[in-house]
Structure 1
Amino acid sequence: MGVVMFQAINKRSVSDEVFDQLCNRIVSRELKAGDELPSERLLSEMLGVSRNAVREAIKRLQQARLVEVKHGGMTTVLDYRMEAGADLLPSLLFDRQGKIQVDVARGIVRMRQVLSPEIAGDAAVHGRDITADRLDAIVDGMVAAIAPAELQRLAFEFWDVLVDGSGNIAYRLAFNSLRKTYEPIWDLLTQMLGRDLRKLDTFRQLAALVRQGAREEAMHCAREYIDSSSNAIYQFLDLYERHAQQKIK
């Protein structure tokens, strides 16, 4: 393993910062699969933190399937592409300079496109009246909303209810990961999706289709909406990528 530089930790949120620093080194491939981390004692000295903070961070890395702690305390980096789950997406979305990883972002948008119609269809089968009542109440709130940020919040709540209505735990966990990924770019998403957030007739129609139990129609409605909003994000990512390439030149 080559020499990897570490930075002293700001002690306001020690274990989180230790985790973030090690996680960033792993997903950036500075620490490669098969590399061994320094011992707890050495890491605590290098980072300027307590061994407890290092131990907590390594435990989180282990839970995220980024490292494996072997017998005797040796900690080995795993190949996150083969071992980790969707919870890692927020860490992959930005590089260490805070720039969006465009390929990762496109993959997240594509995942949203694939899952959303299925979620809506299953909600129409399993959710029906109870889910539709909740959806209608959210759309009523969207009608009254003025600020784009409030529309964005309610739109996410709308999809959150659809996920509940689908009755599918896999969709729920995937949605949780997507929502966590969106948090750092929430304001940016609000700007990109401004036009689609105001398609209140589409939200109302989707709620009605869920109430009717019309699975195929609900899927079609959701797909049209998601494809439109996804195209807005793709256009932004294309511009972002071109701008980044021009700066390099």
Structure 2
Amino acid sequence: MLQDSLSTLEIEDDPTEWQRQALTFWDHVLDGAGSIVFRLMFNAFRGAYEPALPMLSTVMTSEIRRPGDYRKLADAISVGDSAAAKKAAYELIECANEAVMAALDKLESKR
């Protein structure tokens, strides 16, 4: 499932759908991790983030669309390299966080 999700990320062109697929990718990562704590945190995040996707996708596309970085994470998970997976996940989440915050700032300045 993780590889299928990754394949979709590599070909999806629509910015909003791409972000939905990225959430699906993270769903699969969390399913594999088996952590109820991570699942609860992600579900809360997703509940807040998903309704804003159409608005956010208009101001952040290239900043968050990084299929190669998702591939790095999937590869590290596949071979059981927890250090590389942790590093790749951190980099993806940090990049996405910065992009979301910049997009929100941009939207706020337009108000």
Q: Same fold (TM over 0.5)?
A: yes
Tell me how far 1:176 sits from its aligned partner. Answer: 1.1
1:210 and 1:218 in contact (8 A); partners too: yes
Partner amino acid for 1:234?
A: M
User: Structure 2 vs 1, CA of residues 216 and 236 (structure 1 numbering), >3 Å: closer, same or farther?
Assistant: same
User: Structure 2 vs 1, CA of residues 241 and 178 (structure 1 numbering), >3 Å: closer, same or farther?
Assistant: same
Match of 2:50 in 1: 183
* 1:212 corresponds to which of 76, 79, 89: 79
Alignment pair present for 1:162 and 2:26: no
Runs of 4+ in 1 over 6 A off after TM superposition: none
User: Structure 2 vs 1, CA of residues 149 and 233 (structure 1 numbering), >3 Å: closer, same or farther?
Assistant: closer
Q: Output aligned runs, 1:1-249, within 5 Å.
A: 134-242=1-109
| In structure 2, C-alpha distance between the alignment counterparts of 1:197 and 1:240, rounded to whole Å | 16
1:151 and 1:197 in contact (8 A); partners too: no
| In structure 1, C-alpha distance between the alignment counterparts of 2:70 and 2:82, rounded to whole Å | 15
Tell me how far 1:197 sits from its aligned partner. Answer: 4.1
Normalized against structure 2, the TM-score is what? 0.84
User: Structure 2 vs 1, CA of residues 242 and 187 (structure 1 numbering), >3 Å: closer, same or farther?
Assistant: closer
Is the radius of gyration larger for structure 1 or structure 2? Answer: 1
Bigger RCO (CA 8 Å, 6+ sep): 2
Partner amino acid for 2:54?
A: D
Identity %: 32
Normalized against structure 1, the TM-score is what? 0.41
Partner amino acid for 2:84?
A: E
When the two structures are aligned, how many residues end up with a matched partner? 111
Structure 2, unaligned runs of 5 or more: none
Q: CA RMSD in A?
A: 1.9
| In structure 2, C-alpha distance between the alignment counterparts of 1:196 and 1:217, rounded to whole Å | 22
User: Structure 2 vs 1, CA of residues 160 and 239 (structure 1 numbering), >3 Å: closer, same or farther?
Assistant: same
User: Structure 2 vs 1, CA of residues 198 and 237 (structure 1 numbering), >3 Å: closer, same or farther?
Assistant: closer
